[in-house]
Protein backbone atom coordinates (compact mmCIF):
# COMPACT_ATOMS: atom_id res chain seq x y z
CA UNK A 1 0.00 0.00 0.00
CA UNK A 2 1.28 3.44 -0.97
CA UNK A 3 1.07 5.04 2.50
CA UNK A 4 2.99 2.14 4.10
CA UNK A 5 5.76 2.38 1.50
CA UNK A 6 5.96 6.15 2.04
CA UNK A 7 6.28 5.71 5.83
CA UNK A 8 8.98 3.06 5.47
CA UNK A 9 10.89 5.24 3.03
CA UNK A 10 10.70 8.21 5.40
CA UNK A 11 12.05 6.09 8.23
CA UNK A 12 14.90 4.69 6.14
CA UNK A 13 15.82 8.10 4.72
CA UNK A 14 16.12 9.54 8.21
CA UNK A 15 18.26 6.56 9.18
CA UNK A 16 20.73 7.04 6.32
CA UNK A 17 20.90 10.76 7.08
CA UNK A 18 21.63 10.01 10.69
CA UNK A 19 24.34 7.46 9.83
CA UNK A 20 26.10 10.00 7.60
CA UNK A 21 25.52 13.13 9.66
CA UNK A 22 28.75 13.37 11.65
CA UNK A 23 30.86 12.59 8.54
CA UNK A 24 29.04 15.13 6.37
CA UNK A 25 29.37 17.77 9.08
CA UNK A 26 33.08 17.18 9.33
CA UNK A 27 34.17 16.45 5.75
CA UNK A 28 31.70 18.42 3.64
CA UNK A 29 32.21 21.53 5.74
CA UNK A 30 35.86 21.54 4.66
CA UNK A 31 35.25 20.55 1.04
CA UNK A 32 36.90 22.78 -1.54
CA UNK A 33 34.60 21.79 -4.40
CA UNK A 34 31.23 20.87 -2.86
CA UNK A 35 29.16 18.60 -5.09
CA UNK A 36 26.06 20.74 -4.43
CA UNK A 37 27.72 23.66 -6.18
CA UNK A 38 28.56 21.53 -9.21
CA UNK A 39 25.04 20.37 -10.03
CA UNK A 40 21.75 22.10 -10.75
CA UNK A 41 18.37 20.34 -10.70
CA UNK A 42 18.55 16.73 -9.51
CA UNK A 43 14.92 15.73 -8.99
CA UNK A 44 13.65 12.93 -11.19
CA UNK A 45 10.12 11.59 -11.57
CA UNK A 46 10.42 9.15 -8.61
CA UNK A 47 11.64 11.95 -6.31
CA UNK A 48 8.70 14.10 -7.36
CA UNK A 49 6.25 11.23 -6.88
CA UNK A 50 7.59 10.58 -3.36
CA UNK A 51 7.19 14.29 -2.50
CA UNK A 52 3.64 14.26 -3.79
CA UNK A 53 2.60 11.04 -2.01
CA UNK A 54 4.24 12.05 1.28
CA UNK A 55 2.36 15.34 1.30
CA UNK A 56 5.45 17.36 0.47
CA UNK A 57 4.40 19.06 -2.74
CA UNK A 58 7.21 20.93 -4.43
CA UNK A 59 6.88 24.64 -3.99
CA UNK A 60 9.12 25.89 -6.75
CA UNK A 61 8.74 26.64 -10.39
CA UNK A 62 11.45 25.28 -12.61
CA UNK A 63 11.63 28.31 -14.90
CA UNK A 64 12.08 30.90 -12.13
CA UNK A 65 14.99 29.18 -10.42
CA UNK A 66 18.07 29.80 -12.46
CA UNK A 67 21.35 29.99 -10.59
CA UNK A 68 24.76 28.41 -10.59
CA UNK A 69 24.98 25.24 -8.51
CA UNK A 70 22.00 23.44 -7.04
CA UNK A 71 18.90 25.59 -6.75
CA UNK A 72 18.54 24.53 -3.13
CA UNK A 73 22.01 25.30 -1.93
CA UNK A 74 21.80 28.10 0.63
CA UNK A 75 24.51 29.95 2.52
CA UNK A 76 24.57 27.26 5.18
CA UNK A 77 24.05 24.18 3.03
CA UNK A 78 20.94 22.52 1.68
CA UNK A 79 17.73 24.39 2.44
CA UNK A 80 15.50 21.35 1.91
CA UNK A 81 14.42 19.05 4.72
CA UNK A 82 16.28 15.73 4.39
CA UNK A 83 13.15 13.83 3.31
CA UNK A 84 12.55 16.38 0.55
CA UNK A 85 15.93 15.99 -1.13
CA UNK A 86 16.44 14.06 -4.33
CA UNK A 87 17.44 10.48 -3.59
CA UNK A 88 20.81 10.92 -5.28
CA UNK A 89 21.74 13.47 -2.59
CA UNK A 90 21.42 10.70 -0.02
CA UNK A 91 23.25 7.96 -1.83
CA UNK A 92 26.04 9.95 -3.43
CA UNK A 93 29.10 9.38 -1.26
CA UNK A 94 32.28 10.85 -2.69
CA UNK A 95 35.66 9.22 -2.22
CA UNK A 96 36.66 11.62 0.60
CA UNK A 97 33.51 10.87 2.52
CA UNK A 98 33.88 7.14 1.89
CA UNK A 99 37.49 7.19 3.06
CA UNK A 100 36.54 8.93 6.28
CA UNK A 101 33.71 6.48 6.93
CA UNK A 102 36.00 3.52 6.28
CA UNK A 103 38.58 4.94 8.65
CA UNK A 104 36.16 5.32 11.56
CA UNK A 105 33.61 2.61 10.89
CA UNK A 106 34.68 0.01 8.30
CA UNK A 107 31.24 -1.63 8.11
CA UNK A 108 29.24 1.53 7.60
CA UNK A 109 29.45 1.81 3.81
CA UNK A 110 28.08 -1.71 3.38
CA UNK A 111 25.20 -0.94 5.76
CA UNK A 112 24.42 2.27 3.89
CA UNK A 113 24.56 0.59 0.47
CA UNK A 114 22.10 -2.05 1.65
CA UNK A 115 19.70 0.61 2.92
CA UNK A 116 20.01 2.59 -0.33
CA UNK A 117 19.18 -0.58 -2.23
CA UNK A 118 16.04 -1.13 -0.16
CA UNK A 119 14.96 2.50 -0.56
CA UNK A 120 15.53 2.29 -4.29
CA UNK A 121 13.37 -0.83 -4.51
CA UNK A 122 10.66 0.98 -2.56
CA UNK A 123 10.84 3.91 -4.97
CA UNK A 124 10.18 1.54 -7.86
CA UNK A 125 7.39 -0.17 -5.92
CA UNK A 126 5.83 3.23 -5.17
CA UNK A 127 5.92 4.13 -8.81
CA UNK A 128 4.25 0.88 -9.84
CA UNK A 129 1.55 1.09 -7.18
CA UNK A 130 0.85 4.71 -8.01
CA UNK A 131 0.42 3.90 -11.70
CA UNK A 132 -1.81 0.93 -10.87
CA UNK A 133 -3.97 3.12 -8.64
CA UNK A 134 -4.29 5.71 -11.39
CA UNK A 135 -5.36 3.03 -13.83
CA UNK A 136 -8.11 1.85 -11.50
CA UNK A 137 -9.55 5.30 -10.88
CA UNK A 138 -13.12 5.68 -12.10
Contact residues toward ligand SF4 (CB under 6 A) are 27-28, 31, 34-36, 39, 42, 70, 72-73, 78, 80, 85-86, 89, 94, 96-97
Decide whether 16 or 70 has the Cβ nearer to ligand SF4: 70
Decide whether 67 or 135 has the Cβ nearer to ligand SF4: 67
Query: Of the candidates 40, 28, 30, which has an alpha carbon nearest to the alpha carbon of residue 93?
Result: 28
Separation between Cα atoms, residue 41 and residue 112, nearest integer Å:
24
- CB of 28: closest distance to ligand SF4 in angstroms? 3
How distant is the alpha carbon of residue 26 from its chain centre? 19
- CB of 22: closest distance to ligand SF4 in angstroms? 13
The H-assigned helical ranges of 1-138 are 2-27, 45-53, 87-91, 95-104, 108-135
Decide whether 89 or 101 has the Cβ nearer to ligand SF4: 89
Amino acid sequence: MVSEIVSSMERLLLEVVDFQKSYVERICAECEAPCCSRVSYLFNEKDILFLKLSGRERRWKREILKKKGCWFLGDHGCILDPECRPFICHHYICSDLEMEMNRHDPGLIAVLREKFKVIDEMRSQLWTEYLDEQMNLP
